[in-house]
Chains A and B, each alone.
Chain A
Amino acid sequence: MLLEINNVDKGYGHGRFHKKVCVLENVSLTLDKGKTVGIMGDSGKGKTTLGLLMAGVIRPDKGRILLNGQDIWAGSRKERDKKKAQIQMVFQHPEAAFNPRWTMEQSVREPCHIYKISLSPQDIADKMARVGLGTKLLKRYPSQLSGGELQRIALARLLTISPSVIVLDEPTSMLDVITQAKIIRLLMEIQENTGISFIFITHDRELARVMCHETHDIGDLSLPSSRVEIRIAAEEQTLDL
């Protein structure tokens, strides 16, 4: 068991004026090495929140997220960083995922800069080659590249710190069909070569079928109590009609 999520709760909104809204309640999920787990569901149901939780960006209100049996939020800062580096994330909007004032090279170097790992130009060229791009693009700015290229570079950037899990939050939903196919194929190649695990968040059932070893519906994973009530009410309504 590489990544394990145990009974995690997450809600948003706090303070005097906001009522807390539970987005995820009692979610459990496991991910094995070299596997892809798909998370399906409509928008607004907390797919991205689950992704952020798994990538260690936000902290769960309740429950634990275990990487190789260790809680990713436990331990000293240094230990936490070590675990966090193992789980990385790719986002939906490739154009927005890069600092517009940085060249691609600066962006690719960023993770290594954060975790204080040295990175030679040869390493960068290797990673870029692995995602099918030349090093020439490194001199450019995000606005000068296409969505497909940016998403590839986003992957190359993560590969520089060789994570064991990558959370893919609708990585192809902003791309056209053909680029999507290329990226999906690239992801599967990377998985084959490195044994990396993916959490694949998508709303495209067909895509999930191709890409994932198993898929879960976010609605089945998480049933906040308020939503249960709504669901019952909705069922009653349909019975009426």
Chain B
Amino acid sequence: MAFLTPASVLETGPMNKHSRNWKEGALILMAAALPGVSILFFKNMDIANALFSPWLPPGDGHLLGTNDVGQDIFFQLISAGGRSLMVGMAAALTATLVGTLTGCVAGYYRGIADRVIMGLADIFLLIPDIPLVIVLVSFFEPGLFNVIIVIAMTSWPGTARVVRSRMLKIKEYPFVLNARSLGAGDGHIIFKHILPHTGELILAKATLAVASAMLTETGISFLGLGDPCQVTWGSMLHGVFAGAGLINGYWWWYLPPVLCISVTVMGFNLAGFYLQKGWGGNFPADSPLNRQGQIPGKTHPEVPALTGINPPVLINNKDTQTLAPEPDTLNPISKPHNQAPDTQPPSFPLDRQIFRILNLGVEFGIECETNQKKTIKALDGVNLSLVKGDRMAIIGESGSGKSILFLAMLGLLPYNARMSGEVFFRGKRMASFSRKHYQHIRAWDIAYVPQGAGNALNPVIKVGHQISERMRIHGSISKKKGMVMAARLLGQTGITNSHQRVHYYPHQFSGGMNQRVLLAMALAGENSVLLADEPTKGLDDKTKEDVLNIFLKLNREAVAVVTHDLWFARQFAKTIVVMYKGIILEQAPADSFFTAPYHPYSKALLNALPSQGILNPVIMSSHNRYAETDPGDKHGGDSYRIDGGDDDDDDRSNKKNKEISRGCPWARECEEFHDRCRHMPRLFSHNIHKVRCWCHAAGN
């Protein structure tokens, strides 16, 4: 949906993420304001106007000497600083108020108000600042108040534009729509929902505005357009200029105000920069809506080590210690169910096994906004073999690592993935393959149907050419011949009038038809192995049946399908593999799986189908188990993140969550939860039905 794309702004949550930038900004701000606010430390500033002998150099009772009329420069500097800062802040405050208000109105209501306000802002931005200010100030009477007004008049448009654009953005977010559907009025939405999101931006902008206002004020006063009775740093410089201090080399007269102005303006700019960086500038990219499938922060079970026996899982809770089986005697912790690659060389009949996956793990290193590196385990200790004549369906929810498994089998993992374990293809280690070998295999041996009919096809190439691409690259047939072949393949997939339609572009097809084009592409090479990623996604019931028929008619050595469509899996597959969070939970022949699934997760999955009786109360209680029964585990459940524990109770349940996360991945929601589920069970075999659950350990 359109309003979801800029989702990065949504995830800000508590502010602590960027507190360092924020603190730095605040510190600099305080330092910058010090020359200005130092007036507060002096009770009696009359001394600033007292007269001594003129042109005294520093020292001897006068810290910074005296000026042409004999005023003490140090005290003059301090009283002038207070005034300068006051002018700057007041001007910035006025500009920010006006800018925010106009920006809000323009951004929220759009229409004529938007055009008028933004037109005005553009006009103010077009005219050069200083000349405009000079004209305006000389038009009004000189005086601090008028200076403030004039500076504010010229500096509001910047704030207005920024606020308006942020307003436009946040206005479109679903939570604003949600508030409107609750019946909230405009005032509520602007002040409660949208403005808090612009707060830090406004603050940063205001800090920068103070700096520029002080600079402008200095300029005006230096030109002699300020109030002559109220000395500011700028008018001190004006005095130096008028009193010939520069020519006579009275450095103690002009250097202090110059330094003060520079330091203060620089400080405010720097503080504004830090505030913007810390709060307003860029939002962390790790938003809940940016997460794709995998959930960062959700801990995955440990990868079983590659070699030999795994170390036992440490248990913190004393009560469960006794229940933990002895690792040496039982060796209960997840271990490759057959053999570890380095202890036993792969010895399996080469003629039957096409793919042999041993203890495959895939990790992604992700850099999050705090520059800490996180790793996400997409696959964990996967053991699988695809044999000749098999039709396998890998089922699981999104984020369970199904698609990654296919990419690993094809050697097409993204660059930031780290792979462990081994994949054997026709008895050979795939890791040892050269690039050329891989290409050859992908061309003639393994065909892959990618997911997503929407963007897996090139929009500017005719579908016929895309279908015959494989043959044209590797079989070097002509374009014309390719088209004929493509038409035949497309016809096979059930598209009528395929001779005409091969000349279409993907956008001329519906989603279901594009899905079939992808399938035809994969069929083109007559490859012996077919891997299809969600071939029925987004298809209606009728098209699904068509696709199923194509799959059933396929004459291939082996076909593996990743799907979350259980209907399709049931009709098509001989073998079912259930994955959850990158771990295989169950592997069984389709018949026995669909009649009697072993794993509680599989049971829940089957019972969750609308057609399968969503209402089955035995397995599917509507209330989360942990919400009622286990007080310590109240907010574990399907929470994405467990935050850093604000009280003892949280700490305890965090510990518990961590413990559970080392064990069975389904333990948190399992109806048959038992203490031993804190350890990862291995894949127990019951004949050919394999299940990773302690409940079925007995038969092993």
Contact = CB atoms under 8 A, between A and B. Distances in A.
Interface of A: 52, 55-57, 81, 84-85, 88-89, 91-93, 95-101, 110-111, 113-115, 132-134, 136-137, 139-146, 148-149, 154, 157-158, 167, 176-182, 184-186, 188-189, 204-207, 209-211, 241
Interface of B: 1, 3-4, 7, 10-14, 173-175, 177-185, 188, 192-193, 196-197, 287-289, 397-398, 496-497, 500, 541, 564, 604-605, 607-611, 614-615, 620-624, 627-628, 634-635, 637-643, 646, 669
A241 B496 contact: yes
Contacts of A56: 181, 183
B623 A136 contact: no
The secondary-structure label for the interface of chain B is loop
Contacts of A141: 13-14
Contacts of A158: 182
Contacts of A88: 181-182
A133 B627 contact: yes
B564 A144 contact: no
Contacts of A132: 622-624, 627-628
Contacts of B639: 144-146, 149
B611 A143 contact: no
Contact of B620 (A84, A185, A205): A185
18 contacts: A52-B181, A96-B175, A97-B174, A97-B175, A99-B175, A101-B13, A110-B179, A115-B183, A133-B627, A144-B643, A145-B640, A149-B637, A178-B608, A181-B614, A182-B621, A204-B610, A206-B610, A209-B610
Contacts of A111: 182-183
Contacts of B607: 181
A146 B297 CA distance: 12
A143 to B, nearest CB: 5
A79 to B, nearest CB: 13
Given A101-B196, A149-B638, 15 more contacts: A98-B178, A99-B175, A101-B12, A110-B179, A110-B182, A132-B623, A134-B634, A140-B643, A141-B14, A146-B637, A146-B638, A176-B398, A178-B397, A178-B620, A182-B624
Contact of B180 (A57, A113, A146, A207): A57
A40 B179 CA distance: 25
Contacts of B178: 89, 91, 97-98, 154
Contacts of B3: 96
B497 A241 contact: yes
Given A111-B183, A149-B639, A178 B605 contact: yes
Nearest to A83: B183
Nearest to B500: A241
B184 A114 contact: yes
B359 to A, nearest CB: 27
A68 to B, nearest CB: 17
Contacts of B620: 178, 181-182, 185
Given A100-B12, A111-B183, A241-B497, A185 B622 contact: yes
Nearest to A150: B288
Contacts of A188: 615
B615 A180 contact: no
Contacts, number: 164
A206 B612 CA distance: 10
Given A56-B183, A134-B627, A205-B541, A99 B193 contact: yes
Contacts of B624: 132-133, 182
A96 B397 contact: no
A184 B179 contact: no
Q: Which 6 A-B pairs have the closest CB atoms?
A: A132-B623, A181-B608, A96-B174, A206-B610, A185-B622, A146-B638
B11 A100 contact: yes
B53 to A, nearest CB: 61
B174 A93 contact: yes
Contacts of A148: 638
B97 to A, nearest CB: 22
B640 A143 contact: yes
Contact of A144 (B13, B192, B497, B615): B13
A147 to B, nearest CB: 8
A161 to B, nearest CB: 8
B14 to A, nearest CB: 6
A182 B4 CA distance: 25
A59 to B, nearest CB: 12
Contacts of A157: 182
Nearest to B604: A178
A91 B174 CA distance: 8
A212 to B, nearest CB: 11
Contacts of B192: 99, 110
Contacts of B188: 113-114
Contacts of B196: 101
Contact of B611 (A84, A180, A206): A206
A127 B19 CA distance: 35
